[in-house]
Chains A and B, each alone.
Chain A
Amino acid sequence: MLAWIRAWASRTRASLSPRQLDQEFEHELDAHLDMLADENVRRGMSPEEARRAARIRLGGQTQLKEINRELHGLPALETFFQDTRYAFRMLRKNPGFTAVAVLTLALGIGANTAIFSVVYAMLLKPLPYSRPDQLLTVFEAQPKAGVKATGWSYANFAELREQNRIFSDMAGSQQHQLTLTGRGEPSVVNTSVVTPELFSVFGQRPILGRPFCPDDGKLGAPAVVVLSENLWRGSFGADPKVIGSSINLDKRSFTIVGVMPAVFRFPILTESEQLWIPLVQDPLFGSWMDRRGGHWLQVTGRLKPGVSMAQAQAELDAIGARLAKEFPAENDGWTIRFVPLKQKIVGNVKSALLVLMGAVGLVLLIACANIANLLLTRATSRAREIAVRTALGAGRSRIVRQLLSETLVLGLLGGLAGIALAYLGVEGLTALMPQDLPQVNAIRVDNFVLGFALLLSALASCAFGLAPALFAANSNLQSSLREGGARSGESSNRRRARSFLAAGEIALAMVLLVAAGLLLKSFSKLMAVSPGFDAQHVVQADISLPRFQYAMPQQWAAFSRELLTRLQSEPGMRDAAVVVPRPMADGFVNLGFDIVGNPPLSAGTSRTANYVSVSPDYFRVMQIPLLAGRLFDRHDVSASPRVSLVSEAMARIYFPNQNPLGKQIVFGFPPDIGAVREIVGVVGDVRDVALGQDPGAMMYVPYAQAPFWGANVVVRSSLSAASVAGTIRRDVQQIDKDLPVTDVAMMKDTIDATVAQPKFRTFLLGLFAAMALVLAATGIFGVVSYSVSRRTNEIGIRVALGASRNRILRMVFGETLVLTCAGLVLGVPSALAGSHLLGHLLFNVSANDPATLAAVAFTLALVAAIAGYIPARRAMRVDPMVALRHE
């Protein structure tokens, strides 16, 4: 063992300094020569003669050195270095080939690495919390009514936290925005409204001060706030003495008790939240804490170690049943569900990401096929070189090893270029990416991603290198030598392999093109959908009223009345209204309702509609048509009889074959839950949930009768957005200089932002499909033009024997045709299988859409035809004299 180690140590040393090894041996041989010469002189020879005789006695020194080197070095390692050097030399000698191959590979590796960095950040990386696998999101669900997952009421949450034995800790949270004043310009801060346990559930300590303690959550506790590091640095100058000082939120004073590190982000992972306050202190949700019926608190729990998912579900079922029995009015029909927090956060981007990952994988596969084809081409022209090597005694494995070293070097060069591309790609991706995706800020090319890229390039090199290497090593020695290298026909096996690769590229490109085509069609259908209103030329702005100063609904109504009066008297701004909530951009509010005179509903069924509170001119501003009855007007105020408008869908669903006008319905948003309203009109349907979701039942109420603590102002005007926004700001601040106006935007942009994710993935897939198309076209071009160049001789003979130019064109073009047809035949079933994976990403388009399939097949055939036509034309122009002399 020791001897073995010593031998290897000496071999390694020798490998690392081969020159020193040679020198030492040379010295030794020199000494020998000297001694031999001395001896010869002693025997009476002249010094020159003695030296010459000595050299003869010793024999060939070079062979000795060779033996010495061979035995002392690390043969495998040295062969590897030799191969690598040789590979570099070969690549330098063929700059065109090298550039095309490296570029192709770089595109494939770069795209894969960039997408993988997104997949890694979003799907693979653990969430940035301690033991994130223990964290669960707990929902309430009402399966019979189709409610899959909603939040909790605080009262139910309190029972759950009290009764369960499976969670070590649980916390509830909600978010909204509060107005921060007293520090420069009034600003709106993202606020998480939480139960005090939130930080301990996530196992996160503040960097300054203390987290919330249980007492902070009790009624009557002093108002406290925890800042985020970002806010602390941005607005408080990272002042450590900030602890104990106070800030104003919605005009109420809060004492700062702690600062959380920037790494802690919950529940919105994309932007750092700005501050946290205890639930009990929140002007809105705080007042809902004693109401059991609501579903608004998001609950996160940390599972005790060793508790299985099945145990957890069993325990939650038992607690759900107990709650339903104890409080049947609110809890009957409700059950408790949970999912791992991670699944909740990344759930809806997962399938789109996997589709993209699959797509770039295909792009790389096509790139590999392309390079394999190039290598096969080259291997054919190198057949003679390889035959000579074999004849000189290189074994088959030695040849394969040398060729593989070449492809490995090629692969790594491509990989390096690809990594450079990936850096650019990630930058581009994160800039273009919708910012509401989870973990967007964690996307980067880090070591793990780099490792992936290197592994990928090594795998790719093997993929495209193995086939040519094996073919080369298998080639028939005698025929290769006799053929005189590269001229006449190549082996049919190899040609078949090349054709198969080219056809395969077409098939793979087809899969991508069909997927991209389907997504594109789906997206254009989505964009063509009429939302039921016209967002063009509508400017919107968000105004949020501080609820401590504006505590009463009458104040909210008065504020909006005042604001609208001012706005409508401005030139060009007659069409102004307020709305809560905005269609699509805001969440929708789904409320249950009763119809006066209808029998009560049987258990487990419900009547619900989406609720919107608007000022009278809203329908004119948004151009939502009135279908029957009347719209709201200035007389519908809080003192007058309560009225309501319903959407066409609501009339159809709940008043079939009846005239809804004059019917009375009972519903309301807190505080007037039991209000009875008369239906005075029917308006057109609006897609208020999402562009891709059919309009459902909606009911509108006059803002004056159902005001809110804030509203979105919408103004239709031919003036520029900037001047409209300026006017809104000015008018708001004339009423109250401390009110911030936020979220000013064109309504159209806001709607477009809701489809940013499908748009982004459509764009990416389209990009990849375009890459695939170009690569496949290069593949066809390569195969056909290579075959033309090899057949120059044959073509020349054919022409000389009288074949017409057109016949030659047809002959060469026929090859393209066969390749393309084979590719399409392979491609159609693969594309169909692939597009079924798109599944729910498609909107109003079937995965088997024949039009898309046909269009893609046509495009591919056309591109292939062009790619094949260029070499075919060259074949047509072959001059028989030149071709025959070519040999």
Chain B
Amino acid sequence: MAGDKSDILQGTLDLMVLKTLESMGPLHGYGIARRIEQISEEVLQINQGTIYASLVRLMHRGWISGAWGTSDNNRKAKFYSLTRAGRKQLHTEAENWERISAVIGRVLRSAERG
């Protein structure tokens, strides 16, 4: 189903945004998008708008908070940072992710061998 697929993608993007904020500290939407692209070594060319969909969702769940500030090149931008709940959520999600990807990896490998 279409809905399920987008849910997985959304969840993945949300996790990446949270992780980025954890490692980088407060950052604006553009910065987050750039950072994710850099980390993925430009493999992941994301539609940058989806970052904002993700940010809105994360704000809504109370995992991140936003405040207006000034960027390095003196532009007004909204800076997001991780809340305590967000940090907790990140750890749970990251563990989940690792567990699931390990399982998926195992399944894929066994399938190859079979």
Which residues does A use to contact B, with CB under 8 Å?
A: 3, 6-7, 25, 27-29, 31-32, 34-36, 38-39, 57-61, 63-64, 67-68, 71-72
7 new A-B pairs (CB below 8 Å) besides A63-B49, A67-B57, A71-B59? A6-B62, A28-B29, A31-B78, A38-B73, A58-B48, A64-B56, A67-B56
Query: Would A60 and B49 be within 8 Å (CB), given that A28-B78, A31-B77, A67-B56 are in contact?
Result: yes
Give chain B nearest CB distance to A363 CB in angstroms.
51
- Contacting A at CB under 8 A, from B12-68, are 28-30, 33-34, 47-50, 52-53, 56-57, 59-60, 62
* Cα of A61 to Cα of B53 in the assembled complex, Å: 10
B96 within 8 A of A: no
Q: Which residues of B contact A7 (CB under 8 A)?
A: 60, 62
Q: Which residues of A contact B106 (CB under 8 A)?
A: none
Please state if B47 and A35 are interface contacts (CB–CB under 8 Å).
Answer: no
B76 within 8 A of A: yes
Please state if B52 and A29 are interface contacts (CB–CB under 8 Å).
Answer: yes
Query: Would A58 and B73 be within 8 Å (CB), given that A3-B85, A71-B57 are in contact?
Result: no
Query: Would A35 and B75 be within 8 Å (CB), given that A3-B62, A28-B29, A72-B60 are in contact?
Result: yes
Please state if A57 and B78 are interface contacts (CB–CB under 8 Å).
Answer: no
* Cα of A129 to Cα of B110 in the assembled complex, Å: 90
Please state if A34 and B75 are interface contacts (CB–CB under 8 Å).
Answer: yes
Give chain A nearest CB distance to B92 CB in angstroms.
16
* Cα of A39 to Cα of B72 in the assembled complex, Å: 13
Give chain B nearest CB distance to A2 CB in angstroms.
9
Q: Which residues of B contact A36 (CB under 8 A)?
A: 30, 48
* Cα of A695 to Cα of B68 in the assembled complex, Å: 96
* In the complex, residue of chain B having the shortest beta-carbon distance to the beta carbon of A34: B75
Give chain A nearest CB distance to B30 CB in angstroms.
4
* In the complex, residue of chain B having the shortest beta-carbon distance to the beta carbon of A6: B62
Query: Would A61 and B78 be within 8 Å (CB), given that A35-B30, A67-B56 are in contact?
Result: no
B71 within 8 A of A: yes
Give chain A nearest CB distance to B42 CB in angstroms.
13
* Cα of A71 to Cα of B53 in the assembled complex, Å: 10
* Cα of A717 to Cα of B85 in the assembled complex, Å: 100
* Cα of A63 to Cα of B33 in the assembled complex, Å: 18
* In the complex, residue of chain B having the shortest beta-carbon distance to the beta carbon of A68: B56
Please state if A28 and B60 are interface contacts (CB–CB under 8 Å).
Answer: no
Q: Which residues of B contact A68 (CB under 8 A)?
A: 52, 56
Please state if B49 and A61 are interface contacts (CB–CB under 8 Å).
Answer: yes
Q: Which residues of A contact B33 (CB under 8 A)?
A: 32
Please state if A32 and B29 are interface contacts (CB–CB under 8 Å).
Answer: yes
* Cα of A63 to Cα of B53 in the assembled complex, Å: 9
* Cα of A67 to Cα of B55 in the assembled complex, Å: 11
11 interchain pairs (CB within 8 A)? A7-B60, A7-B62, A28-B77, A32-B48, A35-B28, A35-B30, A36-B30, A57-B48, A58-B49, A71-B56, A72-B56
- Which residue of B28, B53, B62 contacts A31 across the interface (Cβ within 8 Å)? B28
- Contacting A at CB under 8 A, from B54-112, are 56-57, 59-60, 62, 71, 73, 75-78, 85
Give chain A nearest CB distance to B72 CB in angstroms.
10
Query: Nearest 4 CB-CB pairs, A to B?
Result: A59-B49, A3-B62, A35-B30, A71-B60
* Cα of A741 to Cα of B29 in the assembled complex, Å: 97
- Which residue of A32, A57, A72 contacts B47 across the interface (Cβ within 8 Å)? A57
Q: Which residues of A contact B56 (CB under 8 A)?
A: 64, 67-68, 71-72
* In the complex, residue of chain B having the shortest beta-carbon distance to the beta carbon of A7: B62
* Cα of A7 to Cα of B56 in the assembled complex, Å: 12
Please state if A27 and B29 are interface contacts (CB–CB under 8 Å).
Answer: no
Give chain A nearest CB distance to B29 CB in angstroms.
5
Please state if A59 and B47 are interface contacts (CB–CB under 8 Å).
Answer: yes
Please state if B73 and A28 are interface contacts (CB–CB under 8 Å).
Answer: no
Q: Which residues of B contact A29 (CB under 8 A)?
A: 52
* Cα of A251 to Cα of B85 in the assembled complex, Å: 92
Q: Which residues of B contact A61 (CB under 8 A)?
A: 49
Q: Which residues of B contact A59 (CB under 8 A)?
A: 47-50
* Cα of A670 to Cα of B86 in the assembled complex, Å: 99
